[in-house]
Structure formats: structure tokens, C-alpha cells
Amino acid sequence: MSDLSQMTLFEEEEPTLVASGIDDMNLVEVLLGLPGRRRPPEDKTISVPWEKDDRSYYLEYNNSWLRIDWESRRRDTGKKDDFYLEVRSPESKGLPTKSVEDVFVALMDLTARENFTSPKIKTTRHELLSIMKHSDGGKAYQRLEETLSQLVNLTVETNAFWNPKKETYFKSEFSIIDSTDLERSQGDHNAETHITWGSKMFEIFQKGYLKRLDTDFYYSLSNTTTRRIFRWLDKHFRHYPTVEVDVLRFAHKTLGFGVSYKYPSQVLQKLEKRLDELVERGFCKWKVVDSKTDSGRKFIFSRRTQYTAVLFPRRDLIIEALERHGLNRASEFVDRHGWDRCLRHLEYLEHRLQSGKKEIQNPGGWLADAIEQDRRLPSGIKEKISECREQTVEWCNQMYQALSLEEKSKLEQRIKKELEGCNEEEKEIMERQWRNRLLLNRIKQF
């Protein structure tokens, strides 16, 4: 093995990713997609899919009531179990419209600024609309007030909430908002608005199943559906680099699409533009493949990882990556020039390929020349690689902290097996890198 002192790209720091808000992961998973459904005629109940037990999920809803039943694998035992969600609202109010998600994210942002010290929020309607980057017109204020009123009157019951402290699920019944007080005065836009979270809702926040959310990025997305996809993926990418989900399950259960979307082709036609926006913004990659899931087609979402060196904690893995790009005698290059130089140019090559810059006809030859000559990287690329490395390492730390005790134990056993035969010095340097490699190869399947 080459000199371990050459592994400078593997040295880990404690970078901090800055995001402008906080999101509750229970609500992202369970309540996301409830609003926005086209309301059925009065006294009519819609069911999706059309025969119960036809799929791994089942929905029924009307103007003021919604019930979802689904099957999923438990985090604590790994076994499949049945979960449900029931939402009720007075007929005079109805279920919330799709704008409720933007309101909820803004309220969480304001609560996070006070470090969740109080369930009471003191704000103005103008401030809420400014956070949401919504227009400042009369209709926007009317929609905001209607949404707040719906949240006050909404009740939720579910057995699918996760308690991260006890590492088990719990059943809960609650109201999202307990009360609102909207002052009326001349120039209503800046009149004080007082909003109080429901007591159970605030208890759920205090269980600590929270994550950072880049609200600036969230509100900059062009469409409600795109924002909804971003929140859901952002939650699951915290635990997994790759997420697989059936096309129709994703559309119906997660995004709230109605009965008119019966086939994967209809969903793809609707979502392609929305998903491509997330690709163009550098958030993720996606594709659709045949599967044995409900509809026979599934999405595969992958978080964009610009810096991949943490995937290669061992000499043979670096050689394998170089060979995959067509570099002949890769082992000689690694031994002669060291891990650091090989990884630096490997990463730059992948950066060029991902960014769609000028096509490289012979990647293997390009790598050979770049490593041999140790070409100077373009201005700013070194800083970019360093930034991406820190972000990837921080992401791995987040994924590790999100594991259950059982998952951590299994991961440590796997690492121990992979490092058999290494001396203590090698283990000390490579243990964290091998952990990161395993974390970056995890897949979440729905």
C-alpha cells in the first residue's frame, strides 16, 4: 500500500452547512401531499387506487376528510407493518389547499429563529408573505388567512410518527395550530399577527426529529409540486444517498395526485419538467426503470455528490475507479504518484463530465496525461473541490447520526470485517473513510 501520509484528501474537518430554516421530518413524511387535491363533488368519496389491497397503499378522501393506509418497513425492527393517517376538517372549512405547505415552512422558519422556546409566534401577514416570496396583493392576504383558519380547525391522527429519542413509532392525535389572532387596523399589512402551535404539535417538535431546510432554495423553486418533491427528497437524502419509490405510489401518496393519474406514463409526463428543475439546480439526479413494485415502474433519485473521493478509502477501490474511466496500468499510477494526485484529477474529470462541459473523447488518456503531468487545476476548482469535500463529509456525518443503534452496530461490524488484516495505523486512518463509503452506497426503497 502507498504511503498513508499521501491521503491528504481524506483528512476530515467539522464544516457547517448553513441552511435558513428547519423542517419537521415526521410531517414531511406523513402530511406532505395532503393539500392540493382537486376536491370531489359534495357527498362523494374518492378512492385511490380503485380496488382496496390492489397496491401497498390506499387512500380515501372527500371535501373534509382523508384517510391513507399503507404498508412500509419499520425502522426499529426492519419488518413490514401497517400505518395509517386520518385528517378531518369541518365541512365549512374543508381540507387545506396546496398553499398550506408554504405557510407551514414559513411558520417553522419563524419558530426556529426563536430556537423552539415557545409555541407562540409573533409576526405580521406581510412578514409571512415576504418569507414565502408571495405577492403582496389582497388575494394573497385572503389566501393566507384562509389557510391559517384551516390549520386551526384541522385534526390529525396517525400511528406513523417516529420518536428519535426512543427509536420507535408512536400514535398521536393533534391540531396543527391552536389559535390565531389577526389584528385589524389601518394598513393591515403590518398589523400584528399572533399564531400559537397546537400543544401536541409543539411536543412533536420538541422530540427533536428536525432537520435543516434551505428555505431560500425551497421558495425559489418555480412550482408547488417541485417544492413538495424537494422537501420529501431532502428529508430522505438525509438518511440515504439513493431513494427508490414506485411511480404511482410517489404520485398518489406523497404528492397528492388524484384518480386521473392511473398510469406511470401520465405521472412522468406531469413530473418530468419539475424533476429536471431540481437536476438543473444541482440538487439531484433521477431516472425511471422497470420494477416489481406496485405499478411496474419506479423512480430512482440520487443526491448529487460532486466530490466522490470519500468513496475510495482503499487502494484497490481507487484503482477500480481509474480503470472504470479507461486508465490502463492504474495500479502503477497510484503507486508512482500517490492517492492524493490520482484522486484530485479523477475528481476533476468527474466534475467535467457531470457539468456537461466539452466532451472528453478519451477519458483514460486524459487521466493518464493529467496525473503524469500533475496539471494545474483551473482557477477556483481547488476551492470548489475542497468545499464539496467538506459538504460530502458533513453529509456522511448527518447520515451516520440519523442511524438507529441497531443500524450503527451493523455498520461497525461491516467496517471491522472490511479492515481485517490492516495494522492499527491504517485502521485509524481508514475507518471513517470506509464508514463514509458504506453510507454513500445505501439505498432506501419504498
84-108 pLDDT, tens digit per residue, is: 999 998 888 888 876 788 899 999 9
Range with the poorest average pLDDT among 47-56, 183-192, 413-422 = 183-192
Reply yes or no on whether the pLDDT at 241 is more than 60: yes
The pLDDT score that the predictor gives to residue 37 is 56
Q: How far apart are CA 149 and CA 143, in angstroms?
A: 10
Q: What is the pLDDT of residue 313?
A: 65
For the cut 50, the answer to whether the pLDDT of residue 361 exceeds it is yes
Average pLDDT over residues 268-292: 92
pLDDT of residue 231: 93
Mean local confidence (pLDDT), 152-173: 91
Is the pLDDT at 309 greater than 70, yes or no?
A: no
What is the pTM assigned to this prediction?
Answer: 0.80
Q: What angle do CA 265, 267, 268 make, to 5 degrees?
A: 65
Determine phi and psi for 169, rounding to 5 degrees: -85, 155
pLDDT bucket at 172, cuts 50 / 70 / 90: very high
CA distance 22 to 12: 26
Select, from the ranges 297-301, 391-395, 396-400, the one with the highest average predicted confidence (pLDDT): 297-301
Give whichever of 111-115, 149-153, 269-273 has the largest mean pLDDT.
269-273
In 10 A of CB 380, how many CB atoms? Answer: 8
**Maximum Cα–Cα distance across the chain:** 78
Q: 103 Cβ partners below 8 Å, 6+ apart?
A: 128, 132, 144, 147, 148, 151
Checking if the pLDDT of 35 tops 70, the result is no
The packing angle between helices 405-418 and 424-439, to 10°, is: 130
Cα–Cα distance between 357 and 362 in angstroms, integer? Answer: 14
**pLDDT at residue 18 above 70?**
no
Nearest-angstrom CA–CA distance, 429 and 432? 7
pLDDT at 358: 61
Give the residue, 25 or 387, on which the prediction is more confident: 25
Q: Does the pLDDT value for residue 1 go beyond 80?
A: no
Statement: residue 420 has pLDDT above 70:
yes
β-pair type (65-73, 57-61): antiparallel
